[in-house]
Structure 1
Amino acid sequence: MSTTTRPTAESSARSTLEADRPMKRVGTTFSAAQLIEALPGTFRKLDPRQMFRTPVMFIVEMGAVLITAIAIAEPFLGGPVTSGGSEVPASFTWLIALWLWLTVLFANLAESVAEGRGKAQASSLRRARTGMTARVVREYVPAADPGALGSAITDMPSSDLDLGDIVVIEAGGLVPGDGEIIWGIASVDESAITGESAPVIRESGGDRSAVTGGTRVLSDRIVVRIMSRPGDTFLDRMIRLVEGAERQKTPNEVALNILLATLSIVFTVVVLAINPIGSSSNVAVSVPVLVALLVCLIPTTIGALLAAIGIAGMDRLVQHNVLAMSGRAVEAAGDVTTLLLDKTGTITYGNRRASEFISVDGADRNDLVTAALQSSLSDPTPEGKSIIDLAEIEGSVRADVAGTVVPFSAQTRMSGVDFPDGSSVRKGAGSAVRAWVAAGPGTATAELDDAVSRVSQLGGTPLVVAIRDAAGVARVLGVIHLKDVVKDGLPERFAELRSMGIRTVMITGDNPLTAKAIAAEAGVDDYLAEATPEDKMCLIRKEQAGGALVAMTGDGTNDAPALALADVGVAMNSGTSAAKEAGNMVDLDSDPTKLIDIVRIGKQLLITRGALTTFSIANDVAKYFAIVPAMFIGAFPGLAALNIMHLNSPSSAILSAVIFNALIIVALIPLSLRGVKYRAASASSLLNRNLLVYGLGGIVAPFIGIKAIDLALSLLPVF
C-alpha cells in the first residue's frame, strides 16, 4: 500500500531549496575602476593628522614638504647647487621633491584601494537595509496564529524597532532586524549577506532560529522577536567593519609600527650627523640628498604597505563569507596551534548513513537488500533515506509497497511492513527485532551477535532486519551498518594541518567507543567524548595553559561560553544570537569546516607581512650602494670602488634610488592585496623560503631596477 504525507510548512519551505549554489567570490587585485575610486581617498590621507599614524610615511611627507620649500627657494639663492663636492642639475631638487610626494601618494593609494574593496561590499549591504518597513505586533499571544492577529499588527519604519519588539514577516518580506523566530518556519534568502543564492531554512526552536536583518523571507510566515537595538544590528556592524571604520591595528601590527618608527628615528639621527661631519671635511651634503638618503634608509616599502596588508587580510575573510569582528582575530587565527572541531556537521555529515548490508545465517543478500528497502520506503528519517539509496546502489528497484506500513515508535523501536498474505518485514534495534523473531517463533544465532558487535566496535549503529513468512516462522536476514560518514577529503586536510604544526581535537557527545572510531577514520590527533559545555571550557583552558592558541566552532547557546573563551571563536550564522555574540568571527555560510580556511588566511596574513618586511629591509641594503658612494664620490674618488652598479653620475644615482623606492611600492600593491601564497610547512622551512625568495629578491631587485632607471636618466641632457 502506498502512503502519502500531508504537506507541512517545512516541506513547502524546503521545496524552494532546489537552486544550485553558485561559485564563491574570488578575490582579485585592483582594477582600473578601483584605482580611480581610490584616488580621492589617496589625496585625503595626505592630511598630516592621518599620516602621523604611520610614522615612516609621515617622515617621508615631512621630507617632501621640506624639499618642495627648498626647490621654491633655490632660484632666489643663486649659484650652482652642489652636494658632496659635486655639482647637481638645477632640476634635481624638484625631481627629488616630486618623487617623494609620489612615494607618499603610492603608499596612500595602497591603503585606499584596500579600503575601497571593503566599501564596495558595504554599499551593497546598505542597499539590503534601505527602506525596510516592520509589521509590529504590540500585544503578541504566543499560541496565536499571526494570520489571525488582524488589527493588532501596525506598520512602522525598521529604524524605530527596539530590543524585544515582535514582528510578523510574510512571504516576500524583508527581515527588518536581527532576531529569533518564535513561531513558524520559512525559507530565507540570505544572499544579500552571504552572497549565496540558495535559500536556507529558518524555524522556531533549536539552533536555526536566528534571522539577520536585510534577508528576505521567500515562503510561509514567521514571527520574530527583535534581538538588536537600532544602529547595532549585525548588518550595521558588518558595514562598519568592512568599511574599516572599526579596524584597529593588531598587536603584531602595532609592534611592527613601533619597530619601524624606532628605525626611522635612528636613521634620522644618523643622517643629521652626516652633514656636520662632512662640513668639517669641506664636503657638505645638500639637504635634498640627505632627505633622499633618509627616505632610502628607512623601511618605506613595508611602512607604505603595512595598512593595506592588514585590511586585505580581513577582506580575504569577507570574500570567504567570514566576518571577523577585529583584526586581532584574523591575526590570532594565523598563530593557532590547536583546533577544536565538533564531530556532527563538521567532521561528519551529521546524519547516520547506511554504509553496508551484512547478511547472516546463510540468508540471501538480495533478500536482505529487498527487505531493508521495503521497511524503509515510508521511513522519513535521513537514516531511512540512506538505506533506500544504498539498496538502489546494490541494484534493488524502488516500488510502492502493497501492504500496511508499521511506523517506527519509541515503544517498539522497529518499523516495517505487514503484507496481505500474512508475511511481514521488520527493521530496528537488535533487542527489539530479536524479541519479534522469538515470538515468530524463530531464533537469533551467534553469527548475528558477532555482526552486531563488529558494527558497534567500529562506532556504528547496527539495525537488524528480519522477516516472518506467511506460516508465521521468523528469521533474521542480516544487519544494516549505520555510520557517521566522515566528509570527503577531511583526512587529507587534517594531515595538512598537522604539517603546519596544528593539533586537531574532535569534540563529540558520543560514547568513547564511537568517538575513537570516528577520530581514527577522520585522522584527527585527539578526541573528547561525552563532552559537556563545561568539558569544552576545561579543555580550552588546559590547552591555553600549555601555551597553545585555541580555535573552535559552534552554533548553539551551549557553545557560547567556549566560543568566548577560545582565542578564535567562529560562530555559525545559522546559530543562536548568543553564539554569534560570543564568537569573534561569524561564518555567514554556516560551514564549520571553514575553520581550516580561516587558519590558512590568518597564516597567509602573517606570512605576507613577514615576507614584505624581509623584502623591504633587504631592499634598503642595495639602495645604500647607490646613494652612499654618490654622496661623497666627488670629494673621495676612492669611493668609486663601491659604485658596483657603475651608475652614470652622483645625481642620477641618488634620483634613481628615490624613483625606485617609489615605484617598488606600486609594484608590490597587488601582492599585498592578494597575499603571499601559503603552503603548509613548518615554521623553519617557511622562514628559509622567505629569506631565499624575498630576502635575496629584495637585494637583487634594486640593483636591476636602479641600474635600469639610471640608464634611462642618462639619456636626458641634464644628467
Structure 2
Amino acid sequence: MSLFAPDLLRAALVRAVVMLRPDILWKNPVMFVVEVGTVLSFVYTAYKVIAPGSTMATLGYLIALDVWLLLTVLFANFAEALAEARGKAQADALRKTRQESPAQRLRVSDTARVPAGTLAAWLREPRSFIDEVPSTRLKPGDLVIVEAGQVIPGDGEIVEGVASVDESAITGESAPVVRESGGDRSGVTGGTRVLSDAILVRVTAAPGESFLDRMIALVEGAARQRTPNEIALSLVLSAFTLIFLIVVVALWPMAAHAEEYMKGFVGATELKSLGTDVPTLVALLVCLIPTTIGALLAAIGIAGMDRALRANLIAKSGKAVEVAGDVDTLLLDKTGTITLGNRRATRFVPLGSLAATEVGLLAALSSAADETPEGKSIVELQRRTSTALAAVPPSGARFIAFTAQTRMSGVDLPDGRVIRKGASDAVIKYVKAQNGVIPPHTDEQVNSFASQGMTPLLIAEGNAIVGLVVLEDILKPGIKERFERLRKMGIRTVMVTGDNPLTAKSIAEQAGVDDYIAEATPEAKLAYIRKEQAGGRLVAMMGDGTNDAPALAQADLGVAMNSGTQAAKEAGNMVDLDSDPTKLIEVVEIGKQLLMTRGALTTFSIANDLAKYFAIVPALFAGTLPWLKAIDVMNLTSPTSAILSAVIFNAIIIPLLIPIALRGVTYRPVGADALLRRNLLIWGLGGVVIPFVGIKLIDMLLAVSGMA
C-alpha cells in the first residue's frame, strides 16, 4: 500500500479537519494548546480588522500568522489521520476475506469429550448427526466437520484428522500448510480454507472475537491503547508546554509595561506591538513548545502497530510491540527455529542381545500412537529398514502418551510386554525403578551420539534397556549470523530444548547461542525466565504448546504460534499468524525500530526548538533588550519576518517528517551507546542545522515577495 495513495490522502484530509474538534484534540495536550492559541489569535485578528487605525502591513502579518498556526494543527492531525487511514484500508481488505459460511455442527451432548472415530463415522454416514448452521451461531466448545473445499467457520483446534489448509486470506502466504490433531500444530483460523481431507474442529472463539475480528479492530485503532513509554513522553511534553505557557502569558503585561516605560524617554526608538499582540505571543509559544514530536507521537505509535500487522503479528496491545524493542533475553526453541524442523530418526542401535531390526520394531510399536513428527519418523524408518516385521499394535494395546513431565511414551501390549521410549535419563530412571539392569557402555553410547549434536532416545522392554534410536537435527542456514546480529544489539539468546545436556551443548556451540536449557520442562522454562527477570532483564519467548503457556504468560513478551494450542495463544501477548518460529527475531527488530524512530524524532524536535529560539527571541525582544542583538546570528530581514519564518518552518517540518514517522527510521543492529551517538550526530545536529537553513530561506522568500 503506497504511503501517499490518493484514497488515503483524501480520507486523511477529511479526518484531519474532523479532529479539530476539541473533544478529540484534547487527547494530544501539545496540539490542543496550539489550537486554543490559534482560536485566540483569530479572535484578535478579527478585532484588528474592524478596529480603526490598523494598517494593511499589520493585518497581513497577523492573518499570515493565523493561517500558519491553523496549518500547524492541521498538519499534526493529518499525520495521525494518515496513519489511521492506512490501518482502515487494511481493515477493509480484511473485511472482504471475512464471510459468513455454513458450519456442519455435530449434535453431541458432551463436547468436552469427543468420541473416538467421530470423524470417520460421520464420513461413513453423511448428515446422520449434524446441524448446518451459520458460522455466526457457533459457540466455544461446538464441534464442526470441515471437508475439502470448505471454509473453516471459526477459530478452533483440530481434535481429529489432518488436512492441508490455505491460510492466504489471513497471512498472505499462498503455500498451503498442514494442520493436524495432536501436537502443537492443531490450531486453525476462521476464514481459512481446507484444501484436502477432512477435520473435526472444536471452536474456541465466540462470534466477533476471532483473530480476524481482532485484527480488524486493531488496525482500525479501536483496540489501540497508548503504551507506557508513549504516555510518559506525553506527560513530559505536557509539562514543557505548561511551563512555556506560563512564561509566555507572563510576557504580555511585561511587554506592555516596557512599551509604556520606553515612551517616556526622549529620543527612544518607537516600539512596535511585537510582544503585546496575541498572535505574536501565540507564535512564540508554538515555537517554544515541542510541537514537532507532539504532532508525530501518535502517528509513530500507530505506524509501529501497522508494521507488526504487516508482518502478520497480532499484538494484544501496543505495549507488546514496544517491549519487543527493550528485550534483553530471547528464549528460542531449538526445533524449527535454530534447526530446520522436526528431528528425524536415522538409525536403530542395539545395546543388548537383540538385533537392530528387533530394536526398530519395539521402537515403532512404542511410537505407533505417537502423533509427534519424531514419533512418525521412527515408524517410517522401521518400515523402510524392515519389510518382514510390521509394527502393527495388536488389538487391546494400551498406549502411553508422551508428557513433558515423564519425557517418555510407550505401549502396554495384551501379552504383558511393556515397551517404553524416551529421553536417556528418564528411561534409565524408569528401568532402575523396575529393578532392571543398565547395559554396560550405555552412557558412553548416549554421550557419543549426543556430543555430535544428535538426540539418542533409549528403548526399554520391561525392565531392560534393549537399544536406542538416533534423531538428528540440521541447523538453519545463516542462523549463526543472525545470533551475532542480536549479540551486537546487546541481546542474549537462549536455546530451549528437551535434548540431554551433551546434545544441547553441541548444538548451542554450532549455532552460536549464549546459553541453553537442556531437558527443558515447563517448570525449567518458568524458573529460567523468573531468574532473568529477577536480574532486571526483559525476557521474550515463543511457544506453541499447552506446556509453553506458563512461560509465555510469565515472559515480558510472549509470542504464540497461530497454529498452536488455544492455551498458548491466550497466554501470549502477541500471536504470529505465520506460525514461523524465527519471527521472534523480526519482532525484536520491529520493536527496536519503533523506539529508534520515536527517539530520533524526539531528538530532532528538541534540537529544532534550539534553532527557533535564535530566530524568534532576538527579534521579539531586541527593542526592549538591545543586547539581544549580539545573539541574532541569523540576521533576519525584520522582526515580523523572523517570527513568521519560524512559524512557517515549524508548520511545514511536520508533513516533511510524516514519511519518516510512518516508515520508521532505518534499523541497524547496534548497541545503545552507538545508537545514542548516531541520534545526536544525525538527528541532533541535523535538528539544529536544518532550521537555521530553512528559516533563513523562508525569510529570504518573504523579503523577495515584500512580506518581510
For the aligned pair, the TM-score class normalised by the smaller chain equals: 0.7 to 0.9
| 1:494-535 per-position Cα deviation (integer Å, ceiling 9, x unaligned) | 111111111111111111110110111111111111111011
Deviation at 1:718, TM superposition (A): 3.7
1:64 pairs with one of 23, 33, 38: 38
- SS of the residue corresponding to residue 705 of structure 2 reads coil
Distance 1:404 1:180 in 2: 36
- 1:288 is aligned to 2:265: no
Query: Which position in structure 2 is the counterpart of 1:704?
Result: 693
- 1:115 is aligned to 2:89: no
Query: Which position in structure 1 is the counterpart of 2:7?
Result: 33
| 1:454-479 per-position Cα deviation (integer Å, ceiling 9, x unaligned) | 5442232589xxxxxxxxxxxxxxx9
Query: Which position in structure 1 is the counterpart of 2:464?
Result: none
Distance 1:182 1:351 in 2: 21
Distance 2:239 2:336 in 1: 49
Distance 1:317 1:39 in 2: 25
Query: Which position in structure 2 is the counterpart of 1:361?
Result: none
Deviation at 1:29, TM superposition (A): 3.6
Deviation at 1:219, TM superposition (A): 1.7
User: Which segment drifts farther, 637-646 or 622-631?
Assistant: 637-646
Query: Which position in structure 1 is the counterpart of 2:254?
Result: 277
Distance 2:391 2:666 in 1: 53
User: Which segment drifts farther, 149-158 or 337-346?
Assistant: 149-158
Counterpart of 2:122 in structure 1: which amino acid? P
Distance 1:503 1:188 in 2: 36
1:337 pairs with one of 323, 328, 343: 328
Counterpart of 2:26 in structure 1: which amino acid? F
- SS of the residue corresponding to residue 90 of structure 1 reads helix
Query: Which position in structure 2 is the counterpart of 1:460?
Result: 454
Query: Which position in structure 2 is the counterpart of 1:217?
Result: 194
- 1:580 is aligned to 2:565: no
**Percentage identity across aligned positions?**
61
Instruction: For structure 1, list consecutive stretches of 5 or more residues without a partner in the other structure.
Output: 1-26, 82-86, 357-380, 388-400, 412-448, 464-478
Distance 2:323 2:298 in 1: 17
Deviation at 1:168, TM superposition (A): 2.0
Distance 1:462 1:566 in 2: 31
Distance 1:158 1:450 in 2: 58
Distance 2:670 2:41 in 1: 47
2:94 pairs with one of 122, 125, 144: 125
- 1:146 is aligned to 2:115: no
* Native 8 Å contact 1:506 1:519 kept in 2: yes
| 1:221-275 per-position Cα deviation (integer Å, ceiling 9, x unaligned) | 2222211112212221121112111111111000000000000000001111112
The structure-2 alpha-carbon separation of the partners of 1:627 and 1:229, relative to structure 1 and needing over 3 Å to count, comes to same
Deviation at 1:176, TM superposition (A): 1.4
- SS of the residue corresponding to residue 472 of structure 2 reads strand
Distance 2:106 2:392 in 1: 39
- SS of the residue corresponding to residue 218 of structure 1 reads strand
Query: Which position in structure 2 is the counterpart of 1:97?
Result: 66
1:197 pairs with one of 174, 180, 186: 174
Distance 1:558 1:501 in 2: 29
Distance 1:462 1:305 in 2: 56
1:297 pairs with one of 288, 303, 307: 288
**How do 1:178-577 and structure 2 match up within 5 A?**
178-282=155-259, 285=275, 286-352=277-343, 454-460=448-454, 483-577=472-566
- SS of the residue corresponding to residue 104 of structure 1 reads helix
| 1:568-594 per-position Cα deviation (integer Å, ceiling 9, x unaligned) | 000001101111111000111111111
Distance 2:191 2:685 in 1: 50
Distance 2:302 2:385 in 1: 64
Distance 1:199 1:155 in 2: 26
* Native 8 Å contact 2:447 2:502 kept in 1: no
Query: Which position in structure 1 is the counterpart of 2:579?
Result: 590
- 1:74 is aligned to 2:48: yes
Deviation at 1:663, TM superposition (A): 0.6
Deviation at 1:131, TM superposition (A): 2.8
Distance 1:128 1:642 in 2: 62
* Native 8 Å contact 1:28 1:674 kept in 2: no
Query: Which position in structure 2 is the counterpart of 1:392?
Result: none
Give aligned pairs, total: 612
Distance 2:20 2:33 in 1: 12
User: Which segment drifts farther, 284-293 or 53-62?
Assistant: 284-293
Counterpart of 1:38 in structure 2: which amino acid? A
Deviation at 1:632, TM superposition (A): 2.8
Query: Which position in structure 2 is the counterpart of 1:174?
Result: 151
* Native 8 Å contact 2:30 2:241 kept in 1: yes
Query: Which position in structure 2 is the counterpart of 1:646?
Result: 635
Distance 2:290 2:596 in 1: 18
Query: Which position in structure 2 is the counterpart of 1:437?
Result: none
1:600 pairs with one of 585, 589, 612: 589
- SS of the residue corresponding to residue 149 of structure 2 reads coil
Deviation at 1:31, TM superposition (A): 3.1
- SS of the residue corresponding to residue 105 of structure 2 reads strand
* Root mean square deviation, CA, Å: 3.4
User: Which segment drifts farther, 499-508 or 130-139?
Assistant: 130-139
The structure-2 alpha-carbon separation of the partners of 1:651 and 1:451, relative to structure 1 and needing over 3 Å to count, comes to same
Query: Which position in structure 1 is the counterpart of 2:138?
Result: 161
Distance 1:404 1:640 in 2: 99
The structure-2 alpha-carbon separation of the partners of 1:383 and 1:588, relative to structure 1 and needing over 3 Å to count, comes to closer
Query: Which position in structure 2 is the counterpart of 1:687?
Result: 676
Deviation at 1:204, TM superposition (A): 2.1
1:629 pairs with one of 614, 618, 626: 618
The structure-2 alpha-carbon separation of the partners of 1:209 and 1:453, relative to structure 1 and needing over 3 Å to count, comes to closer
The structure-2 alpha-carbon separation of the partners of 1:351 and 1:211, relative to structure 1 and needing over 3 Å to count, comes to closer
- SS of the residue corresponding to residue 542 of structure 2 reads strand
| 1:196-219 per-position Cα deviation (integer Å, ceiling 9, x unaligned) | 111111122222221111111122
* Native 8 Å contact 2:330 2:539 kept in 1: yes
* Native 8 Å contact 1:572 1:580 kept in 2: yes
Distance 1:355 1:95 in 2: 80
Distance 1:461 1:262 in 2: 59
- SS of the residue corresponding to residue 168 of structure 1 reads strand
Distance 2:320 2:689 in 1: 35
* Native 8 Å contact 2:455 2:500 kept in 1: no
Counterpart of 1:208 in structure 2: which amino acid? R
Distance 1:694 1:574 in 2: 42
Distance 1:458 1:403 in 2: 26
- 1:134 is aligned to 2:110: no
Deviation at 1:450, TM superposition (A): 9.7
Counterpart of 2:502 in structure 1: which amino acid? L
- SS of the residue corresponding to residue 559 of structure 2 reads strand
Instruction: For structure 2, list consecutive stretches of 5 or more residues without a partner in the other structure.
Output: 260-270, 348-371, 379-383, 395-442, 458-467
- SS of the residue corresponding to residue 185 of structure 1 reads strand
The structure-2 alpha-carbon separation of the partners of 1:536 and 1:481, relative to structure 1 and needing over 3 Å to count, comes to closer
The structure-2 alpha-carbon separation of the partners of 1:403 and 1:604, relative to structure 1 and needing over 3 Å to count, comes to closer
Distance 1:635 1:500 in 2: 53
Deviation at 1:138, TM superposition (A): 2.4
Counterpart of 2:48 in structure 1: which amino acid? E
Distance 2:199 2:455 in 1: 37
Deviation at 1:350, TM superposition (A): 2.8
* Native 8 Å contact 2:45 2:59 kept in 1: no
* Native 8 Å contact 2:561 2:577 kept in 1: yes
Deviation at 1:331, TM superposition (A): 0.9
Distance 1:601 1:403 in 2: 50
User: Which segment drifts farther, 559-568 or 38-47?
Assistant: 38-47
